Amino acid sequence: MDNSNFIIVSHRGYSSKSPENTFASFDLSRQNGFNHIEFDLQLTKDKIPIVIHDDSIDRTTNGIGLVNNFTYKELSALDAGSWFKSEGKLFSKEIIPRFDQMLQRYAEKAHLYIELKSSEFELIDIVSELLRERDILKFASNNPWKTPGIIIISFNKSLLEYSKNNLPLVRHGFLMFQPNQENIEFATDIGCYAVFPYYRNITKEFIEECNEHNLFVASWGFSNIKQVIEVVSLGVRGVTVDWPLEVDRLLKKRFNWYRDF
């Protein structure tokens, strides 16, 4: 293995040093050289896809309530950054991004990992339409290690299958807690490119089985950098982390195959 085939994905942007799922977080990731960025989509009351992890606005804004109870105009007035404190920096001007804004700012400069959080199938219809309208599907066949590019991911089997049927040329990835044979078969059957198991449940045998099915294996859910080393040693080919630069430095230190180009 070498680092041209290993991917570090910034989890909701550079979320250890800036408020998750904001332009500040995505920009910081790119400024540090990490162009594979993951973000979450929910639908507003007026059916606008927005970038937020939770189905409520309580944790990451100064508002209270469910995302789908508000129009985007109402949500756009919220402060999505002040809750986060980092080295004296203030993020009070951060807003909840719209998906179309994400495409405008990053589609040609990053590899986008689009996580479908809303359980509404209409989200996929709207995402598909925006990708087509903005001519983003031309990036679907790009090298998966490089930028630009897109991949759609979800824990929800029904949503993922529906999305793959709607966007057959786009790579899809199945997020899972339990890495098992049943989930490998599902991912293979619907034509997934990748599986993303929770780090704590991964085994070498699971990775070998995925390799036999030509499934790219990356992992998520880390609470510290040492856990990354454990799964990398098992053979995963990518990780989604809050601290991409720190992980990059550690991999360069610990693994001979991970080196500068």
pLDDT at 1: 47
**Does residue 111 carry a catalytic annotation?**
no
The average confidence (pLDDT) of the chain is: 95
* Domains of the chain by residue range: 3-55+98-254
Taking residues 191-218, report their average pLDDT. Answer: 97
Token look-up 């985007």 returns: 72
Give first-to-last CA distance, the chain, whole Å.
Answer: 14
Residue 88 has pLDDT above 80, yes or no: no
**CB count in 10 Å sphere of residue 116:** 25
Taking residues 73-84, report their average pLDDT. Answer: 97
Which of the residues 36, 53, 111, 172 is marked catalytic? 53
Contacts of 237 (CB under 8 A, 6+ apart): 1, 5, 6, 7, 216, 217, 218
Tell how strand 149-154 and strand 194-197 pair up. unpaired
Which of the residues 11, 36, 111, 172 is marked catalytic? 11
**Does residue 11 carry a catalytic annotation?**
yes
Residue 259 has pLDDT above 80, yes or no: no
- Grouping H, G, I as helix, E, B as strand and the rest as coil, residue 195 is strand
Q: What is the pLDDT of residues 174-199, one digit of tens each?
A: 999 999 999 999 999 999 999 999 99
Tell me the one-letter amino acid at 149: G
Superfamily classification of domain 3-55+98-254: Phosphatidylinositol (PI) phosphodiesterase (3.20.20.190)
What is the pLDDT confidence band of residue 4, given thresholds at 50, 70 and 90?
low
Please, what is the angle between helix 121-133 and helix 157-166, to 10°? 30
Q: What is the DSSP letter of 68?
A: G
pLDDT at 73: 98
What is the pLDDT confidence band of residue 261, given thresholds at 50, 70 and 90?
very low
Contacts of 43 (CB under 8 A, 6+ apart): 49, 50, 67, 68, 118, 120, 122, 123, 126
Dihedrals φ, ψ of 76, to 5°? -70, -15
